[in-house]
Structure 1
Amino acid sequence: MSNETFRKRGHVESGHVQTFTRLEEYIIRGLAHHISQNEEVSLTFLAEECHVSKSTVIMAVKKLGYQGFDDLVHNIRFNAQTSSGVLLPGKLVEGDCEEIVCKLADRLRLCEGRRNFIFTGDRRTSDVVARYMSRKLAMFDLFATMSTDYAMARREVLECGTAFFILHRELPRRAAHEQDAGYGMGMLRSARDAGFDIVAFSDDPDRRAAQEADLLVRISPNEDEDVDLFVPKTLMVFEQALTHYAQRRSANGE
């Protein structure tokens, strides 16, 4: 991010374009230099480096259109992560994302007033997804219990709804143990026999349980061996489906 980029961000206030004093220009040049070197500086460090008070630095930053120094740092981090694809990966799923999201929203309808559960393929990564999904579903009065207990797949008085399977293939460097391709099949078949609709989120094309799901959300595989994006990708698809579901309920006056 260059000094000129900062200058162009100067916003209009009371009908006049913000102007910078020589001291503010000096502060902005120093800030731009650190950013161009991928160096993150604190408010205190920048103030001391420029031999000014913290309030002077904040005033210069606000003239750039930010609410304060913290807002500036947040935007720099967000833009850097977005451009690198770490925070917002471009490709979430294999296939038509919009179509998959709509189908997933249909499955959320099947959860209403029924017994649902979330099965995780591993307890180190996928449990994070399951806990998040369970909490978010509860906000819409949809209840899904996290479980690997076969008893959850039995027929009971309450009608069966949807069984969500989180089946993640961990990065080779991080996997503590190998899971065979058939892992989860017993639970899936028990759930299907009991009458559950099966939804699987998986980035493992060899996982047989994923292949036999009623709806398979094929999360795009990791492109970087050092960065595991299964969790954020899965949650982003899930959030999009929740948005569709909420919009449908609103349209129906629910």
Structure 2
Amino acid sequence: MSNETLRKRGHVESGHVQTFTRLEEYIIRELAHHISQNEEVSLTFLAEECHVSKSTVIKAVKKLGYQGFDDLVHNIRFNAQTSSGVLLPGKLVEGDCEEIVCKLADRLRLCEGRRNFIFTGDRRTSDVVARYMSRKLAMFDLFATMSTDYAMARREVLECGTAFFILHRELPRRAAHEQDAGYGMGMLRSARDAGFDIVAFSDDPDRRAAQEADLLVRISPNEDEDVDLFVPKTLMVFEQALTHYAQRRSANGE
């Protein structure tokens, strides 16, 4: 979708000729560039990139004939899926994705110079996610060990950082133990008691990690029962958080 295509859409959808300010044309041009590169940007990112307020971006987008920024993103994603024939995850998380991504980026900051781990209790899903996350974190000198060992949750000389838990709703359930709320909760509580900051990625409809996690990333349930998109959705949210984290480090000259 080119810059000219976006501008023409504004004329057609509104029913009359729209007048774009130079600033709005700049916003549209930057937006078109990201679209042409198959990059999906957030409202906050685009506003910061163009050095304008979010309301200014939304105003420009509405002149293109969209109801708002979310409507624009939805249409771009739908058109991309339709034209390519590739199934992409739609809604990634329950709640405000941008807010969750920012909070997750804050948790990545807590990993710096500390002992972190990723709970890998199930080989079918969490191993895939954990290996990917561990490699990507290492690229930023953030180190998180994949583990199912309770010893990882003990207090040691190195200060506790963040413990990541991958809690897929299809994980096999362990037998309930006392007040244990579900699979992996014993490990989670041990980590919390040791002083770790807890981040849980879960699509469990019972929200079993909600009461224990400092940050619960509620991965949206599958829209198609025949396709399990938990892993790609989790990794997409994680990648967005890494991008925010990297941008903050760059802004601070790190």
TM-score, normalisation: structure 1:
0.64
- Relative to structure 1, the CA distance from residue 175 to residue 16 in structure 2 (aligned partners, 3 Å threshold; closer, same or farther) is farther
Contact 1:181 1:206 in 2 (8 A): no
SS of the residue 1:200 aligns to = strand
Contact 2:14 2:65 in 1 (8 A): no
Contact 2:118 2:163 in 1 (8 A): yes
Cα deviation for residue 225 of structure 1 reads 1.0
SS of the residue 1:211 aligns to = coil
1:126 aligns with 2:131: no
Using the TM superposition, name which of 209-218 and 183-192 deviates more.
209-218
Deviations 1:14-35 (A, max 9, x none): 9999999999999999999999
Cα deviation for residue 172 of structure 1 reads 11
Cα deviation for residue 92 of structure 1 reads 0.2
SS of the residue 1:208 aligns to = coil
- Relative to structure 1, the CA distance from residue 94 to residue 148 in structure 2 (aligned partners, 3 Å threshold; closer, same or farther) is same
SS of the residue 1:145 aligns to = strand
Using the TM superposition, name which of 214-223 and 32-41 deviates more.
32-41
Using the TM superposition, name which of 123-132 and 102-111 deviates more.
123-132
Using the TM superposition, name which of 21-30 and 132-141 deviates more.
21-30
Contact 1:171 1:225 in 2 (8 A): no
Distance 1:101 1:71 in 2: 20
- Relative to structure 1, the CA distance from residue 212 to residue 85 in structure 2 (aligned partners, 3 Å threshold; closer, same or farther) is farther
- Relative to structure 1, the CA distance from residue 235 to residue 100 in structure 2 (aligned partners, 3 Å threshold; closer, same or farther) is same
Cα deviation for residue 120 of structure 1 reads 2.7
SS of the residue 2:133 aligns to = helix
SS of the residue 1:13 aligns to = helix
Cα deviation for residue 211 of structure 1 reads 3.6
Distance 2:99 2:53 in 1: 54
Using the TM superposition, name which of 74-83 and 25-34 deviates more.
25-34
Number of positions where the alignment pairs a residue of Structure 1 with one of Structure 2: 254
Distance 1:235 1:227 in 2: 16
- Relative to structure 1, the CA distance from residue 98 to residue 42 in structure 2 (aligned partners, 3 Å threshold; closer, same or farther) is closer
SS of the residue 2:201 aligns to = strand
Using the TM superposition, name which of 74-83 and 152-161 deviates more.
74-83
- Relative to structure 1, the CA distance from residue 68 to residue 166 in structure 2 (aligned partners, 3 Å threshold; closer, same or farther) is closer
- Relative to structure 1, the CA distance from residue 140 to residue 60 in structure 2 (aligned partners, 3 Å threshold; closer, same or farther) is closer
Residue ranges of structure 1 left out of the alignment (5+ in a row): none
Distance 2:27 2:92 in 1: 40
Deviations 1:126-174 (A, max 9, x none): 2100000000000000000000100000000000000000000129999
Larger radius of gyration: 1
- Relative to structure 1, the CA distance from residue 190 to residue 81 in structure 2 (aligned partners, 3 Å threshold; closer, same or farther) is same
Deviations 1:211-242 (A, max 9, x none): 42000000000111110000000000000000
SS of the residue 2:67 aligns to = coil
Distance 1:130 1:175 in 2: 24
1:54 aligns with 2:59: no
Amino-acid identity (%): 99
SS of the residue 1:102 aligns to = helix
Contact 2:150 2:190 in 1 (8 A): yes
- Relative to structure 1, the CA distance from residue 253 to residue 204 in structure 2 (aligned partners, 3 Å threshold; closer, same or farther) is same
Provide the residue aligned with 2:109 in structure 1: 109
Runs of 4 or more above 4 Å deviation = 1-86, 171-181
- Relative to structure 1, the CA distance from residue 175 to residue 132 in structure 2 (aligned partners, 3 Å threshold; closer, same or farther) is farther
Provide the residue aligned with 1:197 in structure 2: 197
- Relative to structure 1, the CA distance from residue 241 to residue 31 in structure 2 (aligned partners, 3 Å threshold; closer, same or farther) is closer
Using the TM superposition, name which of 145-154 and 22-31 deviates more.
22-31
SS of the residue 2:117 aligns to = strand
Contact 1:202 1:210 in 2 (8 A): no
- Relative to structure 1, the CA distance from residue 152 to residue 8 in structure 2 (aligned partners, 3 Å threshold; closer, same or farther) is same
RMSD after superposition: 13.1
Contact 1:181 1:207 in 2 (8 A): no
Using the TM superposition, name which of 203-212 and 55-64 deviates more.
55-64
SS of the residue 1:35 aligns to = helix
- Relative to structure 1, the CA distance from residue 87 to residue 143 in structure 2 (aligned partners, 3 Å threshold; closer, same or farther) is farther
TM-score, normalisation: structure 2:
0.64
Contact 1:162 1:197 in 2 (8 A): yes
- Relative to structure 1, the CA distance from residue 174 to residue 253 in structure 2 (aligned partners, 3 Å threshold; closer, same or farther) is same
